[in-house]
Amino acid sequence: MNTREVILVATATLISAVASTIGFRFFHRSQNHAKSSQNGTVSSSRNPFDPSKRKGYLSWDDYFMAIAFLSAERSKDPNRQVGACLVSQEGIILGIGYNGFPRGCSDDKLPWAKKSRTANPLETKYPYVCHAEVNAILNTNHASAAGQRLYVTMFPCNECAKIIIQSGVSEVIYFVEKRLENSDIAYVASHKLLSLAGVKVRKHQPLMNEIHLKFEEH
């Protein structure tokens, strides 16, 4: 099956789909040390006459980053799974994506290796893989990415930064950065490009450390 699928869903449909057995974590020690939340749980001690709203619900940032994390679970890459979620300024999900081979290219006929025993780059995944950020932008069903926000589980590389800039994305929210003491040229270049283009960049600071999702009837 094609690993890069166009996923065009409304927020309500997406919420129904993500109620799955997958549990994913924000591996981060939040200063707030907020308790984790489990979807679909109903407190038996809740006063049915209490007019106040529920506490402990997801913040918008946690929600969209969670969608990016869940999208990463679709990736077939055995080494690294990355997810991205493109969101409008009104909080509407425009596109989601994950790292994988282009549409129509079999997951089983191209290599997933990071290195080649014969030093042949064509025996590695790198010449073939589409990154999550690019897929999220392309999966918008022709909605404009200009002025919108992109949530991504990993800081984008320089090639993705070019696409982000050219598509007009105004802000990138990332969870983790693959960069060691400024030694990785691709990510140093990415920072430089995004800064010069005026794209706002910030690291996601989760309010919830862990979110559980599961199928369950109530």
* Helix extents (H) in the chain: 11-18, 60-72, 132-138, 158-167, 185-196
| Contacts of 120 by beta carbon, 8 Å cutoff, 6+ apart | none
Active site residue 133: yes
| Contacts of 124 by beta carbon, 8 Å cutoff, 6+ apart | 111, 113, 114, 115, 116
Stated length of the chain: 218
Q: Residue holding tokens 């990138």?
A: 172
In this structure, are residues 82 and 99 in contact, taking their beta carbons and an 8 Å threshold?
yes
Distance CA 18, CA 154 (A): 20
Question: Residue 175 belongs to what H/E stretch?
Answer: strand 171-176
Sign of the C-alpha dihedral computed for residues 30, 35, 41 and 42 taken in this order: negative
Catalytic-labelled residue, pool 123, 133, 177, 181: 133
Residues forming a β-bridge with 154 = 176
The catalytic residue positions are 133
